[in-house]
Amino acid sequence: MQNDGQISGSIKAKAGELGLSGCAILPVGFLSGEMPPLQTWLEKNMHGEMSYMARNIDKRLDPRLIFENAKTIIVVLQNYFPAEEQADKTAPVLSKYAYGTDYHYVLKYKLKSLLSFIQSEIQSCNGRAFADSAPVFERAWAKRAGLGWIGKNSNLISVEQGSFFFIGELILDIELPFDNPKPIADHCGKCTRCIDACPTKAIVADRVVDARLCISYQTIELKGELGSNLKGKFENRVFGCDICQDVCPWNLKSEKNTEPAFVPNTRLLQLAKKDWHQMGKQLFDELFKKSAVKRAGFSGLKRNLCFIKSGKDQQYF
């Protein structure tokens, strides 16, 4: 029979085998400290049209309301920093997280594999995997797990890895040996590079992002017309944004991911500016068949392309 250290070690070893770059095991509980800032953010309507953010707040703060008899939460990280980037530096910019297969599928598959391992090698149990797909306060749990601190751009930042990673959770109805992580100190210091670099000034305060001004929200979440007040401020971003992460000194530590599912279609990275603006539905389906870009859809991508086009680009439409 395995002791506590062996159980914890075997779970983390399996997570490593699955390509997960961080893993912590915690007891499920109530995130009391997250309530005030969340309520203030919602009251100021900084969530824009993301109405789901204002729903299920009780569940967002307490996973025991999401999964019956929840006792343990395993928090993991998945690196997505790409080995290559877009060749044409004048082409519309795609967020790095959307280069390959939609992370929801990749991360959930890995978490379910980890669940199967626990069920077969550790103890019979029920569990549920989460990858930005339910009201789980993932950054708060990752912070509690000692996997990083919340940066001034509101992203989780790791001393070892920077911030180009996804966060996932596996919630179980059994108790496992829990970690006792120490909180990671805030290493942002006096640095304001992310705040200064944001072209739409979406980081309205230290660790507060007004989604309505955020390029990622505008190009992904917003379903109607893009904000006319932001015209000319997208810096050629067509789906998502990475500006606040690109300028973060901690991302000098980012290492290229080795996940096969995140390897992009070679043609995608070779698209020239003109190719993007002339893209038809057939090419869109070919390039983004399994991508997170499908969330915006062909019409959404074309809307974004029209929004960022310059006078010279108009000949392509």
Whether residue 313 has pLDDT greater than 80: no
First to last CA, the chain: 67
Tens-place pLDDT, residues 209-222: 999 999 999 999 99
* Collapsed DSSP state (helix, strand, coil) of residue 49: coil
Residue 314 has pLDDT above 50, yes or no: no
Question: Three-state SS for 55?
Answer: coil
Band of residue 309 on the pLDDT scale cut at 50, 70, 90: confident
Q: What is the pLDDT of residues 6-34, one digit of tens each?
A: 999 999 999 999 999 899 999 999 998 89
Residue 121's closest CA among 12, 27, 20?
12
User: Taking the CA of residue 154 as centre, how many other CA atoms within 13 Å lie in the half-sphere pointing to its CB?
Assistant: 17
Residues marked as catalytic: 132
Confidence at residue 317, expressed as pLDDT on a 0 to 100 scale: 34
Q: Is the pLDDT of residue 312 over 90?
A: no
User: Tens digit of pLDDT for each residue in 247-281?
Assistant: 999 999 999 999 999 999 989 999 999 999 999 99
Residue, of 313 and 243, whose pLDDT is higher: 243
Instruction: Name the residue with tokens 């038809």.
Output: 280
pLDDT(316) > 60: no
What is the pTM assigned to this prediction?
0.94
The strand pair at 156-157 and 149-150 is best described as antiparallel
CB 222 within 8 A of CB 49: yes
Residues 6+ apart with CB under 8 A from 304: 92, 219, 226, 238, 239, 296
Return the percentage of the chain with pLDDT > 90, whole number: 92
Q: What is the pLDDT of residue 310?
A: 46
Q: In the chain, how long is the greatest CA-to-CA distance? A: 70
Give residue-wise pLDDT tens across range 121-161. Answer: 999 999 999 998 888 999 999 999 999 999 999 999 999 99
Give me the amino acid identity at 46: M
Q: Give the dihedral sign, CA 63/69/71/72.
A: negative
- What's the mean pLDDT in 78-106? 97
From the list 16, 55, 24, the residue with the least C-alpha distance to 140 is 24
- What pLDDT, on the 0 to 100 scale, is given for residue 1? 61
